[in-house]
Every structure is written in structure tokens, then in C-alpha cells.
A and B are shown apart, each in its own frame.
Chain A
Amino acid sequence: MNKKFSLKQIFDSRGFSAFTATLMAIIIGLVFGYIVMVIASPENAWLGFSSILTGGMKKIGDVFYYATPILMTGLSVGFAFKMGLFNIGASGQYTMGMFCAMYVGFMFDLPDGIHWIVCVLAGMLGGMLWGIFPGFFKAFLNVNEVITAIMFNYIGMYLVDMLVTGNPSMYDSVRARTQYLPETAKIPSLGIEGSNVSIAIVFGILIAILLYIILNMTTFGYELKATGFNKEACHYAGMNGKRNIVVTMVIAGALSGLGGAFAILAPTTIAGSSVTYEPINVIAANGFNGIAVALLGNSSPLGIIFSSIFISYIQRGGTLSALYGYKPEIIDIVIAVIIYFSSFSMIMGGALAKFVNRFTKNQAKVNVNAESPVLPEEGKEE
């Protein structure tokens, strides 16, 4: 038919409305950030703002470097969310993964080219271990996974800090941080000049694609998403809900654990040094950033690839705006606003659809046969 018709079709598709909603959220977040900057310091606002927008360009290696761990924790949170589980324990899993990777790095003497791979796998196992607990408690004792996961965030963090400070071959008590990891334990660099980015980002993206395939093409993904939508129907269909909960949490833990391993095993630009960990009793922020990344990516593995890179990108720009006297926290505000609005994607999608209606006479997205109005849930988009 005519142009109008195809426009209407595009706006009808769920994927598109999720995408436009996110885009609108990003724009609103940026505008909001700009307003805050104008209020804080009007004369530098435009310079500061443009460094947020374009600063990431100048440090493209760093963008990917910082995107790597939040890509993994984002995938972790998003994957569990597909099943209706809120994995707030990504931080603990991340910390455990980091510790296990480090432990193998310090304590094992393995040949070059093999050592780092074993470290990464150890990190994955560490994360898995921390994913099992909330999964197990949820599946067999019906304890809310959020509560267990928060507890295990603390248990993991204190445990790791204790183990690190008590181990002289790992801990440098003078500098109050871990020692430099041996060269063999570091993940090979991606080779972008002047940044720590490693080939881990490539693994991360491949893993995201793998998750996409699992979710959309396999029977496991079928069960998992069905459970996220309607647990009762899955029970009726004879799915093993308990096993699926545990498996999902183990996978989510593995992803976060990999995030921790990727972070600590990153190659550094200065020869002989390495990324270090300071055991100062703080819960890893990258775990919580994973929640933001997952929300913005609409819990879809492919969406999360982009959202992690995007968040890392404006964070780099944010640090650059410090040149004009702005605190880098300004970016946290922007990100918070973006997340806030993207969570309203239903309203946003609805508003946009109405706007388009004016021109195409499209229908509002309500359905009388549903017991509640159809929301473009986090769950369904690809």
C-alpha cells in the first residue's frame, strides 16, 4: 500500500516500540543532564555537555574496556530476568569470580597461553557457586532470591576481603591492594593503543549471541521464557521449575563471575603492572551497573550488548567533562534518569503510538481479552 501503511506496520511491532521508547528515554536523560549542568555552572554547560556526547570517541578503547564487565553482569541480570528472577546478586557473583580468577593467577604456575584461560574458567566457577545459593533457596525452600542474593553479596565480599588480606602472596599490605598478577594470567590485549581493552569484549559479545540463541531457539530457552511469563502454566505443562530456577541462577552466576574475571585479568598498558583489587569492604559497583544495563537493554542479550557499550560510552564522556569543572557523578544522574524513563517504556510507547495515530489512525494498544492491559513487558521483544 502507501507509505502510511508501512509506517503503521513498523510502529506496530513490539521490537520497534521498545527501541523507540529506549531512544526517547536516552534523549530525555541527556536533556535532563544538560539542564542540571546549566544550573550547576551555566558558562561551561555546553562544553561540558558536548564532551559527554563526544568524549567517548576519543577513548574508544576505554569505552570497550569498561563495557566488558558491565556487559557480563548485564547479561547475568537480564538472563535471570527472562525467567522472572531478579538477580540482584550479580555483585557477589562478580566478586567471587574475580577472586577465583585471581587465586588461580597467583597460586598456580601454568604455562603462558593456558594460564589465563584457566583463570577465566576459575572465575566462571566462582560466580556459578555464588549463583547456586539463591537459586537453590528459591527453588527448594521458596525463599525470595532477592533476599538471599543480597545476603550473599555481603558474604562474598567479606569472604573475599578476608581471604585476600590473609594471603601474603596475593596481598600487598603496604599498598593495601592486591599484588600485580603474573603476565601469564592476563587476557591478551585487543591491541587498541593506550587502553586496557582485551579480547574479553569479543568473548562477551559472542556469549551474548549464544544466549540469544539459547533463549530463542532451544527448548531450554522456551521453558525459561515461559516460566517468566506464566509459572502456573509451566507447572501445568510439567516443566521442572525447580531445576530450571537453579540452572538459570547458575548460568547467571557464571556470567557475572566471568565479568569479575575479565575485569581483574585485563592487560595494562604499563609493563609489569596489572589491575588490582582493594579489599576495602565495598560491594562491587559493577554488579549494580549490570542491573541498569539490563534494564536499558530490555533484558535482551543483543540489546544488552548495545546498552553496556552506550553506558560505558557516556561514562567516559562524563569523566572528560571534569575538565570543565563538572563532577563525573553528573553521568550517574543522566544514567539514572534514562533508566527511570526506559522503565516507563509502556507509557512512552503508548504516547508515541498515539502521536503516530494522529497521522495513521492506528489503534491504541489495549486488549479486552487480557485480564490486565498488555504492557510491552521487559520479557518479550526480539
Chain B
Amino acid sequence: MSEYVIEMLNITKEFPGIIANDDITLRLKKGEIHALLGENGAGKSTLMSVLFGLYQPEKGEIRKNGEVVKINNPNDANALGIGMVHQHFKLVEIFTVLENIILGVEPNTAGFLNKKEARKKVLALSEQYGLKVDPDALIEKISVGMQQRVEILKMLYRENEILIFDEPTAVLTPQEIDELMEIMRGFAKEGKSILFITHKLNEIMAVADRCTVLRKGKLVGTVDIKDTNKEELSKMMVGRDVNFIVEKQEQKLGDVVLSVENVSVPAKMGKKDVVKNVSFEVRAGEIVCIAGIDGNGQTEFVSALTGLDKISGGKITLCGKDITKASIRTRSTSGMSHIPEDRHKHGLVLDYSLEENMILQRYFEPRFQKFGFIKKKEMREYTENLIAKFDVRSGQGPVTIARSMSGGNQQKAIIAREIDKEHELLVAVQPTRGLDVGAIEYIHKQLVARRDAGKAVLLVSLELDEVMNVSDRILVMYEGEIVGELDPKTTTVQELGLYMAGAKNNQKVGGAANE
């Protein structure tokens, strides 16, 4: 028998305008955790989708235990014991957890659904691997972390032996990431083989045995993790040295751009406020970061600040103008740019082309329309310019449908649009989620460039590294309140962690931060 459970040999897969996988060979050993690394749009998701039977390669073959197999669709993959957790989950929102897990392999007695047995099996699996889920909760009501556990249970329920994880950690909190790593190690110990896509080199160094690196659709090589380090990996992937330290000029503080006074935001359901009495200022030339564990009111606060949702009390001032009740459009034209947290829900019209998405915030400006007619030529030129500037990669350039772009490139497109738009304040929520290290370096540079150009930047991030490296001032949010204001130059990650966990507080309760 072969040493490898899965061999993907000389795989080539083309899309209109681009070769997503060009002659790629990847071999997976039994019981190993094999990381797949590459820039945004390098072809990782595509390669995994070929293995999962979603795409048919133009060239190449797949072998399982040394024998050539043909995987025409996900059912074939499943029959071969291959399961996949997708970059963007594929769950039926209005079904329960249990229903989603058994979807397609429903146990039945004489054609009648036998949920009891399925429930027993699911509960046993969830117990065994520590994957806590509520089998009767609706998918649309549960957190992304739990949705992911559902996806994992789906694979276990089908008794898959080869598990593909496509960027599973991009949507998780640091705690959840640690748990996931633990679970993956457990799988490997049991003899399951794992393919793991991530942009976070720390995670690869922590769990992977080997790593295959792709660049622009081509194979760069496969390395043993014990013989390499972060710097080498990122160099392999980007083709140059990546600078993990963000360089900043001396700060030149200007006028107050954003002032938030005693803002409270009501919960979506119920009457309680999820953001309580928050006050702070952001001045021109500084990057203020709101740090905190996911779910402590950051999302709701940003929604209220940008006008997506209403506030229940307080006052917001932008460049001296009261925008507490202003429409989203007014806020935008008064100088607010917003990189939203959810790129598919808010950031993009996925069925529009890239160029149509690029003018989403500006189509009404005289530059892009005349007498209500969109200036297509201007739109095209503008998009081409942004594509070049921000290195947005896609199959067909401006006319690519946004849906077909790789996740990271979708994000880059949004960032390009929001940064290029006229603004005084940039609200960036998790701007680097799903981006490769090269792109992160670039985006961080852009954020700092905004600051140095005298703009105000409000960054909301869950990544401690990002918080510490990029910001000039850190505000920690805990249970809807600002509990700490810290200077990244004098604080440690440990101290920041204590504030985030609610164990420390250097603010007067309910008081304003900057008075």
C-alpha cells in the first residue's frame, strides 16, 4: 500500500480568464495535518473543491491509497470518506442543527425519517470530540463558532476519514481557535488525515506536520514544519520578505474628527442595551482601536455609528456636525468610510461585477453619472485603477462577477473602495479577516498611511497582534462598556487580555473616557 491516503497529481483547473490550479501535486499522509498556504486567489479553495468533487480538473488525477479514483461530485467524495468544511459555510439556515447534520444521509425506517437514532449518534459524537452543539437550535440563530462545529459534525457523522478545512479559523475568536486546534490534533491522533487552509502562520506552526505552498495557481513546494519557520513560509508564499512589524511615523494629532458621547444601543431583541453609555473621541492623525472579545457589543456599536441601526441614547458628532440622526448616505458624504464586518451581507452585491461593486458608495457622484446615466467608461477606468493599486486579483478584471472571486480578493475590493473614497474617518471592522500575510501587511500600511495623511481611523479588531501593532490608542470593550483605555507602547498583551476578560477596569463606571 502507498504511504499516502490521498494523492492529487498534476491537477490543472481553469476558469474563464485564469488558471486557478496549474499542474499542482499534493500528497496527504495518513494521520497528518497538512496545511495549505498561499496568497489570496492562489487557488487553495479551488484545489480543495476539486478533491471534494465540486470541480472537474482539466488535467491530472486523484489517487486514494494508491488507486486512481474519479470524483465527479460531493457524493463520490463522501463515499471515499472525504469531507469538507467550506470557507463560507453551506448550511440550511432555517433547518435545525440536527437536520443539517443528517441532510442527504437521513436515517429512515421504511422511508420514514428516524431522527431518534440520528440524534443519539450526533450527541455521542459531540460528546466524544467536545463539539458542543444544541441539536434543536436553528442554524440562523446560532453563532458562527457553533455553525462551524455543525459542519465538523457533519463530516464525522458521515464517518469521513479525510477532512478538509477551508479557512476555518478566519471567523473564530482566539479561544475558539485554540479549541479547534485541539480537536484537529485529536482527529490526527485517531488516524484521520486533515487538509487545513489558513493564512495564519502561527496556526500552521502550531498544528501542522507539513505544509504545501501555492503561489498564483502554481505549486511552490511542500515543506516539513519542523524544518521551517514563519519567515521562510511567508517568503515562499509571497515571494519576498514580509515585514510583520508595522512602521509608523511620529504621530501628528489634529482636530477631533469623531466624538461619541454617552451612546447606548438597544439589543436586536428585547429592551436591554448591548452598548452602554460609550464615550470617546478620535482625532485626525490617530488610529484608535476598539478591542474586545467577539460579542461584547462591538458589532452593535459600529452598526449604530455608521447608521445601519438606531441608537437609544447619546450623541455622535463627525467633523463638528451632529450626525446622531443622519442617514447612512449623509454620514458617508460627510466623510465616513466603512469597511463592514460581513463582506457578503453588507460589503458586496455578489451578483454584480467587480466594477459595479467599486462604485457602490459613489455611483451618484457627478464623476460617475450624468443626468442619471452611469458613466460606464469612467467606472471601468476607476476600477482598473483600483485593481492595480490594491492588487485585487480575479479572472476577468472589472467585469468579473464578485461571487466568483476568492474570499480574500473580495475583501481587498471592499477595502480599496472604502479607502479610495473621500473620507475623514475610516471605520474598519476586522479589515484583514481572510487576507494573506502579504495583503495584511499592505492593508496595515494603508491604514497607517491614512493616519499619516491626517485622517482619523477607528479600527475594530479581534486580532491581538493587529491591535497592538497598528493602533495608537486602544479602547477595550467589555459587555457593552469601555472598560479600559490603553497605550499599546506601554501595555502588554497579557494586560490587554485581562481588560478584555473583564478582570480589570481603568474607567469610571459609566463615565466618559476622555474628559
Q: Which A residues have a C-beta under 8 Å from some C-beta of B? A: 12, 217-220, 222-223, 225-226, 229-230, 232-240, 357, 361, 363-364, 366-372, 374, 377, 379-380
Inter-chain contacts of B308 with A (CB < 8 A): 235-236
Please, how many angstroms separate the alpha-carbon atoms of A176 and B86 in the complex? 65
Q: Check B347 against A380 for contact (C-beta < 8 Å).
A: no
B350 within 8 A of A: yes
B344 within 8 A of A: yes
Q: Choose from A229, A364, A370 the contact partner of B349 (Cβ within 8 Å).
A: A229
B6 within 8 A of A: no
Inter-chain contacts of B48 with A (CB < 8 A): 368
Known: A232-B346, A238-B328, A361-B58. A226 touches B352 (CB 8 A): yes
Q: Check A368 against B350 for contact (C-beta < 8 Å).
A: no
B49 within 8 A of A: yes
Q: A219-B373, A369-B405, A377-B351 are in contact. List 14 more A-B contacts (CB 8 A).
A: A12-B16, A218-B373, A225-B352, A226-B360, A233-B347, A233-B348, A235-B328, A236-B306, A236-B340, A238-B361, A357-B56, A368-B49, A369-B403, A369-B407
23 contacting pairs across A/B (C-beta < 8 A)? A222-B374, A223-B363, A226-B352, A229-B351, A230-B345, A230-B351, A234-B349, A235-B328, A236-B328, A237-B328, A238-B307, A238-B329, A238-B332, A363-B56, A367-B404, A368-B45, A368-B166, A369-B88, A369-B406, A370-B350, A371-B88, A371-B90, A380-B351
**Number of B residues contacting the other chain (C-beta, 8 Å)?**
54
B410 within 8 A of A: yes
Q: Check A369 against B410 for contact (C-beta < 8 Å).
A: yes
Inter-chain contacts of A229 with B (CB < 8 A): 349-352
Q: Check A368 against B332 for contact (C-beta < 8 Å).
A: no
B364 nearest CB across to chain A (Å): 6
Q: Which B residues have a C-beta under 8 Å from some C-beta of A? A: 13-16, 45-46, 48-49, 54-56, 58, 86-90, 166, 306-308, 327-332, 338, 340, 344-352, 356, 360-361, 363-364, 369, 372-374, 376, 403-407, 410
Inter-chain contacts of B332 with A (CB < 8 A): 237-238
Q: Check A368 against B374 for contact (C-beta < 8 Å).
A: no
Please, how many angstroms separate the alpha-carbon atoms of A374 and B54 in the complex? 12
Please, how many angstroms separate the alpha-carbon atoms of A177 and B347 in the complex? 56
Q: Check A369 against B328 for contact (C-beta < 8 Å).
A: no
Interface of A is mostly: loop
A81 nearest CB across to chain B (Å): 14
Please give me the residue from chain A that is nearest to B361 by CB atom: A237
Please give me the residue from chain B that is nearest to A377 by CB atom: B351
Most buried by A among B54, B89, B331, B349: B349
Q: Choose from A218, A237, A377 the contact partner of B360 (Cβ within 8 Å).
A: A237
Q: Check A363 against B55 for contact (C-beta < 8 Å).
A: yes
Inter-chain contacts of B407 with A (CB < 8 A): 369
Q: Check A219 against B351 for contact (C-beta < 8 Å).
A: no
Inter-chain contacts of B46 with A (CB < 8 A): 368
Q: Check A233 against B346 for contact (C-beta < 8 Å).
A: yes
Please, how many angstroms separate the alpha-carbon atoms of A233 and B14 in the complex? 30
Please give me the residue from chain A that is nearest to B58 by CB atom: A361
Q: Check A374 against B352 for contact (C-beta < 8 Å).
A: no
Inter-chain contacts of B87 with A (CB < 8 A): 368-369
Please, how many angstroms separate the alpha-carbon atoms of A219 and B370 in the complex? 9
Please, how many angstroms separate the alpha-carbon atoms of A361 and B60 in the complex? 13
Q: Check A374 against B346 for contact (C-beta < 8 Å).
A: no
Please, how many angstroms separate the alpha-carbon atoms of A380 and B353 in the complex? 11
Please, how many angstroms separate the alpha-carbon atoms of A357 and B58 in the complex? 11
Q: Check B361 against A370 for contact (C-beta < 8 Å).
A: no
Please, how many angstroms separate the alpha-carbon atoms of A364 and B330 in the complex? 44
Q: Check B90 against A230 for contact (C-beta < 8 Å).
A: no
Please, how many angstroms separate the alpha-carbon atoms of A266 and B60 in the complex? 65
Please, how many angstroms separate the alpha-carbon atoms of A237 and B340 in the complex? 11
Please give me the residue from chain A that is nearest to B48 by CB atom: A368
Q: Check B360 against A367 for contact (C-beta < 8 Å).
A: no
